[in-house]
Amino acid sequence: MYKVVIGLEVHCELETKAKNFSSAPNTFSQIPNENVAPVDLGLPGILPVPNKEACRKALLTAQALNCTNPDEVLFDRKNYFYADLPKGYQITQVTKPMGINGYLDIMVDGKIKRVDIHQLHLEEDTASLEHHPKYSLIDYNRSGIPLIEIVTEPCIESADEAVTFLEDLRDVFLYLGVSEAKSNYGQMRCDVNISLMEEGSDKLGTKVEMKNINAFNNVRAAIEYEIKRQSELLERGEKIVQETRRIAEDGKTYSMREKVDAVDYKYFVEPNIPPVSLSKEYLDELRSTLPELKLSRYLKYTQLGISSEDSATLSKERSISDYFEEVLSYGSDVELSVNFVITAILSTLNKLEISLNDLFITPKMLSGVVDLVSKGDISLDHGKKILYKAIDEKMDPVELIEKEGLHQINDEGELLKLITEIMDENGEIVRQYVEDGNMSAINFFIGQTMKRSNRQANPNKSKEIIISELERRKNNAGK
Amino acid sequence: MYRGKSILELRESLDNGNVTSEELFGSANKLAHYFQEDYNSFVTIIDKCKVKRSNSLISGIPYALKDNFSTTGILTTGSSNILKDYVPVYDATVYKKLKRAGGVLVGKTVLDELAMGGTGTTGHTGIVRNPWDKERQIGGSSAGSAASVALGIVPFSIGSDTGDSVRKPASFGGIVGFKPTYGLISRYGMFAFASSLDHVATLTRNVRDAAIVTDILKGQDPKDMVTLKDDGKKYVDTLDNDIKGRKLFYIKEICDLDLYKDSGDSELIEVLEKFHELLDKCREMGFVVEEVSVDKDLFNAIYPTYMCISCAEATSNNANLTGIQFGPRGEGNSIEEIMFDARTKGFSELIKRRFILGSYILQKENQEKLFLNACRVRHMIVDKITELFKEYDGMILPASGGIAPKFDEKDEKLSDRYLLLENHLAIGNFGGFPSITLPFAFVSDMPVGINITGGVKCDDIVLNMAERIEELTGYKDIYAKVGDIDV
Amino acid sequence: MIEKEKLRDYAHKLMFDMNDSEYETLQEEFDIILKQMNLIEKIPNISDVSPMTFPFPNNDVSLREDEIGDYLTVSEVLENAKHQVNDQVRVPKVVDEDV
């Protein structure tokens, strides 16, 4: 058996208004070369000036990944020639990355796995190339878009761990609002380094590199394929070649080229960007804006007694989790709140294809309904019915109840009056109970009571009254 | 009639209505064409007058711009084949400011290819000749900018200075070259040679004009992060300040006559004698002038340090020149082949040698010993000079040990004797110090310049001292009165 | 002396070539500079000094606000590109997709 050793390098474009080193727009465009400043084109005489917001987002992400921030913002140049790199160098960070020595805890098979982060740095994206049969075309729109790269330590041991890490990392980006991280737009991409080592050995195997994988299921496929391929080679006593491979549509990986001697990128400090110091106050203030992240919220929910499935659903997206927690913050019943958020709110969002922002019902309004249910003033069913109506009519559900008199009927006299009426109209059913002992009559009358009361009758109270009224009639019949 | 006139003289003529800016442009344009064949100052001479009036002192006044400043719609070659057809689509900040002030561009001047070199002989359109003697170099890299001012074509021109590229040709051309504090003037749009050493600098025929132009160009630019916050000063206003008690020093290891006694270089001896005569006059005027001694081994390292840092930065800065998004397209069947072909054909030998040197210096295995050690030496030299500037207002030194060399003269810059004498101007670039060169003597009928360098952000003091020393030299507003033309 | 073949390899990595005599000149130049740099290493206490990248410390620097400013039109972007197709810069087919 072999132990799998995987390291990931994840690139993610940051969401900003302007590019990282120029003030051209950072927006995805179908029109080629539409969002390009002289800086992005590498014209002679250009100078880069870093984007404050990109720096802030990179620093914040580093904090979320438990990294140590540097004492100043500093950039370096990575020198190489390529068609998609108009300046002939990429501005990146080597000397002082935005974060070093961090980690992200993930949950795999119900256990917590700590993925160590080597570093997070801020750089710029390259231009994009479009390949045609006889030529390639360069579009500079992407050139200069702020990009963070997160490099893990080689501590990931399976495709499951790798994919969970990537999904959780994307959720971190979304939680922080630093990127939309859409892998289908290439906003989030991943390089995978994988090697196998003999179980019990401490000698690392030969590393194979797979570059620029967009979709997470391709990461899984590539890793699984490589584990199989490399295991088979090793079992046959063959050597693993140190190389770069790519994943093809058939889910297999193919060799692109063997690793020749490492490229020397001749890094040096970017001389046009003087260091900008980062005060402890600034970094502390930034840290104070960090939201509680997914895993921590998940664990908190399970401790509240919420099922792991529901906890996962509630913590998956920050907006939902925040919504849910705000409902709880008003002191509402946990179980009912979970029930309302998951079955009523989330399903409504899905059905209407809207986001939480577009929903009229605030957490405060929802908590009002939840409280009525938990006090027994209205039934769960009734509460949800009111909620849907409130969503439709864009009204506070509690106000809706008042306005339309949708209160639950709890008054025993009123209920008895209604039930007596119904029973009088349905003498045959009463007879079946009284004479034949047919218990299903109870349910029949509950149904009728709910129907006739517009579902406003308190079901529990109604049931009690129905049973006692039927018993009363039975006793009377016997006399 | 207007040849060789200073900015203030032309201003007066314009304000009096004796001449129009169109006429001034016409005159400069004629001069530019007239001297082009013999001296080759320009890559492009502009034939259409575009005047935008303002209330600036330079409104309506012609000037020349080094051909490594980005000018929208005007060919900008960096005097290199690799950019021989490049027409920029954006303006350098300096060009924008001059346009806004109403300066009238007469032409884009020849430089040493991509500003690398100090001879004025490596531009892709041929060598630039010294107006005082056609058989001699004007020096570089701002060769055409210096020649156009020394010929009296324009009252001022703009150059770039990475080691001495404005101040050396100013010395050889008998004019004033001023490189202000690093970050005082935006570099945006100036083709980068070595970013941490690159400065925008002016060439004029007197110190006052240098102050006038610098006042217009300076200021923080959001497009150049190293630019300084505005100091709120107008340098022209303090030019006449009293200098009594201002302290200058010169470096013994550069200026001591004893060092060169047995050199047999009579021109050098004469330069130094006249230098010491000037120092005496300075003392008479009220300056305190003192000799200081420095660690010769450290200061001898100026040249290799300069080469290491500038070549390293240059090889990276010029990696954008591949013929893909601009410049002549190379031939080939792959992207590598077309880049390779464009760069092989586009760069001349000197440039290529410097790029290789620079890339060697940056290689992983050499970086510590070569690049970082050079950066350490830079630090030590700058610390030493900065320390001296705590006590002194300026450093005064001959800009060069001799007059402009002939084209066939062997370059002796690297021999031990001249290593410091011919390369000390780079100190101004290492530390970003304001530094000015002005003519102070004639030797063998050729002008020689003196250099005054001061503390960071003390541009006003440097200009003030230079203005007063200019009074002592008697070489204010000189130009080479060659050619039989009166316009 | 540094080998000519090595220099040629460096040149090729910088995407250009030179002729033989040019490499020979370069060899000599390397010789001089490297000798001078060897002297630098002998400067006392050099290793105690931090490498200087910027001429002097500048506390005025600030990052750019995240706002859209000037940028080029498509035709300006392409103005100097010799080969174009569909408003993009055309180059020979790139085979190896990644560096």
pLDDT at res. A256: 84
**Structure-block tokens of residue A78:** 């990575």
**Which of C6, C56, C62, C77 is the mutation pick for testing A, counting most A CBs within 10 A?**
C77
Give domain status of residue C51, yes or no.
no
Determine phi and psi for A74, rounding to 5 degrees. -145, 140
Chain C touched by A282 (CB under 8 Å): no
Give domain status of residue B118, yes or no.
yes
Q: Are residues A425 and A395 in the same domain?
A: no
Domain of A460, CATH number, reads 1.10.10.410
Of B90, B321, B363, which is closest to A266 when you measure between CB atoms? Answer: B363
The number of folded domains in chain A is 3
Domain membership of residue A452 as a residue range: 412-478
Q: Give the whole-number percent of chain A exceeding pLDDT 70.
A: 99
Give domain status of residue B269, yes or no.
no
Cα(B440)–Cα(B437) distance, integer angstroms: 9
Give domain status of residue C85, yes or no.
no
Give domain status of residue A286, yes or no.
no
Give domain status of residue C22, yes or no.
yes
Residue segments in chain B with a per-residue pLDDT below the cut of 50: none
Give domain status of residue B148, yes or no.
yes
Q: Which of A387, A404, A421 is where one domain is finished?
A: A404
Give domain status of residue C18, yes or no.
yes
Domain membership of residue C36 as a residue range: 1-43
- Residue in chain C lying closest to A33 (CA): C74
Chain C touched by A244 (CB under 8 Å): yes
Give domain status of residue B468, yes or no.
yes
Q: Cβ contact (<8 Å) for C72 and A23?
A: no
pLDDT at res. C94: 82
- Residue in chain B lying closest to A136 (CA): B335
Determine phi and psi for B43, rounding to 5 degrees. -85, -45
Of C17, C37, C76, which is closest to B370 when you measure between CB atoms? Answer: C37
Distance between alpha carbon B22 and the CA centroid of its chain, in Å? 28
- Residue in chain B lying closest to A44 (CA): B191
**Nearest 5°: CA angle at B85, between B83 and B87?**
95
Q: Which residues of A touch B335 (CB under 8 A)?
A: 82-83, 136
Chain C touched by A211 (CB under 8 Å): yes
* Angstrom distances, CA of residue A405 to CA of A410, A415, A418, A452: 13, 16, 17, 15
Q: Are residues A36 and A80 in the same domain?
A: yes
DSSP string, A75-126: -EEEE---TT-TTSEEEE-SSS-SEEEEEEEEEETTEEEEEEEEEEEEEEPP
CB A366 within 8 Å of CB A325: no
Q: Cβ contact (<8 Å) for B321 and A44?
A: yes
Give the residue among B249, B260, B246 at the shortest CA–CA distance from B292.
B249
A411 has pLDDT over 90: no
Q: Cβ contact (<8 Å) for C71 and A52?
A: no
How does pLDDT run across A63-100, given as a tens digit for each residue?
A: 999 999 999 999 999 999 999 999 999 999 999 999 99
Model pTM score: 0.93
Cα(B145)–Cα(B169) distance, integer angstroms: 9
Cα(B386)–Cα(A476) distance, integer angstroms: 114
Q: Please report, in angstroms and rounded to a whole number, the separation of the first and last CA atoms in chain C.
A: 33
Give domain status of residue C77, yes or no.
no
Q: Cβ contact (<8 Å) for A23 and C88?
A: no
Give domain status of residue B360, yes or no.
no
How does pLDDT run across A144-201, given as a tens digit for each residue?
A: 999 999 999 999 999 999 999 999 999 999 999 999 998 888 899 999 999 999 888 8
Q: Cβ contact (<8 Å) for A45 and B226?
A: no
Domain membership of residue B101 as a residue range: 7-245+434-473
Q: Are residues A242 and A130 in the same domain?
A: yes
Give domain status of residue A132, yes or no.
yes
The number of folded domains in chain C is 1
Cα radius of gyration (chain C)? 23
**Which of C75, C80, C85 is the mutation pick for testing B, counting most B CBs within 10 A?**
C80
**Which of A41, A268, A269, A276 is the mutation pick for testing B, counting most B CBs within 10 A?**
A268
Of B83, B187, B315, which is closest to A47 when you measure between CB atoms? Answer: B187
Give domain status of residue C31, yes or no.
yes
Give domain status of residue C33, yes or no.
yes
Q: Cβ contact (<8 Å) for B68 and A45?
A: yes
Q: Are residues A384 and A321 in the same domain?
A: yes
Cα(B114)–Cα(A375) distance, integer angstroms: 82
pLDDT at res. A260: 65
pLDDT at res. B422: 92
Cα(B162)–Cα(A227) distance, integer angstroms: 55
**Residues of B labelled catalytic:** 66, 141, 165
How distant is the Cα of A44 from the closest Cα of chain C, in angstroms? 12
The number of folded domains in chain B is 1
Q: Which residues of A touch C68 (CB under 8 A)?
A: 17-18, 23-25
How does pLDDT run across C15-65, given as a tens digit for each residue?
A: 999 999 999 999 999 998 888 888 888 888 999 999 999 999 998 899 999
- What is the SS3 assignment for A238? coil
Q: Which residues of C touch A23 (CB under 8 A)?
A: 64, 67-71
How does pLDDT run across B449-471, given as a tens digit for each residue?
A: 999 999 999 999 999 999 999 99
Give domain status of residue A206, yes or no.
yes
How does pLDDT run across C14-26, given as a tens digit for each residue?
A: 999 999 999 999 9
Q: B247-251 and B288-292: which strand pairing?
A: parallel
**Which of C63, C82, C90, C95 is the mutation pick for testing B, counting most B CBs within 10 A?**
C82
**Structure-block tokens of residue B313:** 């930065």
Give domain status of residue A82, yes or no.
yes
Q: Cβ contact (<8 Å) for A276 and C63?
A: yes
Q: Cβ contact (<8 Å) for B349 and C36?
A: no
A383 has pLDDT over 80: yes
If pLDDT is split at 50, 70 and 90, which confidence band does A257 have?
Answer: confident
Q: Are residues A311 and A342 in the same domain?
A: yes
Domain of B231, CATH number, reads 3.90.1300.10
Q: Cβ contact (<8 Å) for C94 and A35?
A: no
Within 10 A of A207 (CB to CB), how many other CB atoms are there?
A: 16
Give domain status of residue A388, yes or no.
yes
Q: Are residues A306 and A371 in the same domain?
A: yes
Residues 423-482 of B with CB under 8 A from A: none
pLDDT at res. C99: 42
Give domain status of residue B291, yes or no.
no
Task: Show which subunits contact B, needing at least 3 CB pairs below 8 angstroms.
Answer: A, C
Of B228, B379, B429, which is closest to C49 when you measure between CB atoms? Answer: B379
The ipTM value here is 0.96
Q: Are residues A253 and A155 in the same domain?
A: yes
Calculate the dihedral angle through the C-alpha atoms of B314, B315, B317, B318, rounding to the nearest 10 degrees.
Answer: 110
CB B91 within 8 Å of CB B101: no
Chain A touched by B357 (CB under 8 Å): no
The residues, ordered by sequence, that sit 6+ positions from A278 with a Cβ below 8 Å of its Cβ are A59, A69, A70, A71, A72, A73
Cα(B417)–Cα(A440) distance, integer angstroms: 118
Give domain status of residue C11, yes or no.
yes
Q: Are residues A353 and A210 in the same domain?
A: no
How distant is the Cα of B371 from the closest Cα of chain A, in angstroms? 9
Which residue did the predictor score with more confidence, A202 or A104? A104
Give domain status of residue B424, yes or no.
no
Q: Cβ contact (<8 Å) for A79 and B319?
A: yes
Q: Cβ contact (<8 Å) for C68 and A17?
A: yes
Q: Cβ contact (<8 Å) for C64 and A269?
A: no
How distant is the Cα of B415 from the closest Cα of chain C, in angstroms? 10
pLDDT at res. C98: 47
Cα(B436)–Cα(B175) distance, integer angstroms: 10
Q: Are residues A275 and A296 in the same domain?
A: no
Q: Cβ contact (<8 Å) for B352 and C55?
A: no
CB A12 within 8 Å of CB A147: yes
**Nearest 5°: CA angle at C44, between C43 and C47?**
90
Which residue did the predictor score with more confidence, B217 or A431? B217
Q: Are residues A14 and A157 in the same domain?
A: yes
How distant is the Cα of C68 from the closest Cα of chain A, in angstroms? 5
Chain A touched by B411 (CB under 8 Å): no
Chain A touched by B356 (CB under 8 Å): no
Span A380-398, average pLDDT: 89
